[in-house]
Structure 1
Amino acid sequence: MLGPGLVLMALVIIIPLGLALYMSLLDLDQYTLRSWLQAPFIGLQNYVEAVTASPLLRSIWISVSYAVVVSLVTLPVGVAAALATQNRFKGRALVRSVFLIPYILPAFVVGTVWRTMMQQGGVIDSALGSAGVHTGLWLNGPQSYWTLIIVQAWSSWPFFYLLVLAGLQSVDSEVHEAAALDGAGWWIKLRYVIFPYLRGPIALALIISLLHNINSFTLPFVMFGVPAPQDVQVLSVLTYVTSFQSFRFGLSAAMAVASLIIVAIPLFVYLRAVRLDTGEEGKRA
């Protein structure tokens, strides 16, 4: 009965991963691509070049810092929005629907609209200029990093909102009633009654948000194009440029493997925490 699932896993995950690992050990470029099985085997030279002679480490730092900042910024916004729409009020369905608009829009549309608004002399520059604020270039230079963070945070905070709202629905109504009978204020109730129920959803949302932002490609690619400014050359864009503009397929495969390792770290930490929380380690011991 496990056979079909194992075959699907092999076709979708194991075989492509094995090919990527093998390609990262080859001197594979536009000249050897057609007969890539006969491409020169160079071992770990692609990994050494990626670390020493390419902007890989800088791109890793940009991707990780950008993912962490966006996740930390969007977390309180999502929690506040979920708390604000938890109880019934007139027009709640409409408010919940409006909150989801940034998240359901395709990243290509979000990147195109924000790129147009942030052009020099665009809507945002005009609005800030009328208030006496002159920010300079949004899409080039040091401010491009914060531009990417602002746009990504705007489009991804409803994800935290959805997961936290789902966690709030799991809080038993009797718990709310008991807290009210004990005279608990809103902060005491929030801290000691509601937040313990939200630890799981918030931890899951943080991990998924980190993984999603580290792997983000469409938004920076559409907003800044290629070659992108150095401050927004995230790992996924660097891998794309190395592969399809420089045609260094072996080197780009090594960068993709590095990306996989980076993504696996927070995932491993989360799975380890879940196992400890559920007591599986204690049962094994």
Structure 2
Amino acid sequence: MKKDAALRRAPELGGQPPAKRRRTVSERNRPLWMLTPGALLIGLIIIVPLILGIYIAMLQLDQYTIRKWISAPFVGLNNFVEAFTSTDLVHAFGNSVGFSLIATVITVPIGVYAALATQNAYRGRSLVRSMFLIPYVLPSFVVGSFWRTMLQHDGIVNKVLTGLGLPAGQWLTGPASFWVLILVEVWAAWPFIYLMALSGLQSVDQEVHEAAAIDGALWWTKLRYVIFPYLRGPVALACLIATLHHMNNFSLAFLLFGVPAPFDVQVLPTLVYSMSFTSLRFGMGAAMALISLLLIAVPLYFYLKAVRLDTGTDAGGKK
């Protein structure tokens, strides 16, 4: 209070209150300067390759013009038109969408059930959790080579089926190859859903469980009205990430079936690779890659919307 009175008497005594120091231009722009390294890195690894990819997609670039690719014939949007009309792009897109959606639908209940099975403490739970993570931590090269060896015509799968009196199958060619790709993807990807669901279960307060027990809630009622609401956010986010991963998964299809892949299992990543590095039509491959990027941007939009930062306000702008 004495300090406030002294400040009020300062003009009467001929003094001036202390002026507030103004920030310089460099101080005001300091947050922007701190973002500069990240912006430069994003420009080098994302924006520059994207611009080059768009430019290459408008060139007639192949094995004959690659040595002087800057002066390659400019064809405009012809590569994009040809990709839709004269290639298997639409078929590969349908395979990719069907494969990714079916794999996601199958992995979600498996992952959630595994998380529920390992939520409560019991003897050997750590060992069970470690075993559940084995498919997820194995490199894609190991997973693809492992399953390809087992699914050969003279592999262990056909030998077991023959020993059981069942007919052997051609698993790596024909219509069965599509379901083989889904099977292997589900085997390798369900632990991701398991981890996301387990993280959601760990966020449930112990008091919530105690309140449900006091109210006499049955197991299914507790699971439906108490546990599942906590899992809705993590599992929905896991579904979006898993769908994007399935659509972009090149290594598994490449290792299982090689390139060019069989028609029944041709997906977007293997088609782009085959067009670029088998047919050596780099301009067409770049056009297909850009089309794939635009198609994948649809689930990517929902993913970014799901993980947007919480600003503390709702859609109406209210606190």
Instruction: Pick the TM interval, shorter chain.
Output: over 0.9
Q: Secondary structure at the match of 1:140?
A: coil
The answer on 1:204 being equivalent to 2:230 is no
Please list the CA deviations of residues 127-160 of structure 1 after superposition, one character each: whole Å capped at 9, or x if unmatched: 1122222142001111000011111111110010
Partner of 2:174: 141
Note the C-alpha offset of 1:225: 1.1
Give the Cα separation in 2 of the matches to 1:135 and 1:276: 52
- TM-score, with structure 1 as normaliser: 0.96
Q: CA deviation at 1:36?
A: 1.5
Say if 2:35 is the partner of 1:2: yes
- Report the structure number with the largest CA radius of gyration: 2
| Runs of at least 5 residues in structure 1 that lack an aligned partner in the other structure | none
Please state if 1:176 is matched with 2:206.
no
Task: Name whichever of 258-267 and 128-137 sits farther off.
Answer: 128-137
Deviation digits for residues 84-137 of structure 1 (CA, Å, limit 9, x no counterpart):
000000011000000000111111111111111111121111111222221420
1:239 corresponds, among 272, 289, 292, to 272
Is residue 90 from structure 1 mapped to residue 123 from structure 2 by the alignment? yes
Partners of 2:223 and 2:128 lie apart in 1 by 22
Structure 1 partner of 2:28: none
Within 1, Cα distance between the matches of 2:63 and 2:70? 13
Aligned residues: 284
1:128 pairs with 2:168: no
Report which of the two has the higher share of helix: 1
Q: Name the structure 2 match of 1:41.
A: 74
Contact 2:241 2:303 (8 Å CA) reproduced? no
Contact persistence 1:275–1:281 (CA under 8 A): no
Residues 208-223 of structure 1 mapped to structure 2, 5 A cutoff:
208-223=241-256
Mapping 1:1-285, distance limit 5 Å = 1-272=34-305, 280-283=314-317
Work out whether residues 142 and 231 of structure 1, in 8 Å CA contact, stay in contact via their aligned partners in 2.
Answer: yes
Match of residue 14 from structure 2: none
Residue identity (%): 57
CA RMSD of aligned residues (A): 1.6
Q: Is the 8 A contact 1:50 1:56 kept in 2?
A: yes
Amino acid of the structure 1 residue aligned with 2:97: V
The CA distance in 2 between the partners of 1:228 and 1:273, in whole Å, is: 34
Matched residue type, 1:149:
I
Compare 63-72 and 264-273 and name the one that shifted more. Answer: 264-273
Q: Which amino acid aligns with 2:316?
A: G
Q: Structure 1 pair 145/91, CA: closer, same or farther in 2 (3 Å)?
A: same
Alpha-carbon offset, residue 62 of structure 1: 0.5
Taking structure 2 as the reference length, the TM-score comes to 0.86
Letter in 2 for 1:282: G
- Counterparts of 2:73 and 2:235 in 1: how far apart (Å)? 47
1:281 positional shift: 3.0
Q: Hey, what's the Cα distance between the residues in 2 that align with 1:159 and 1:273?
A: 18
Give, as a single letter, the amino acid of the residue that structure 2 aligns with 1:113.
F
Q: Which has the higher contact order (CA 8 A, sep 6+)?
A: 1
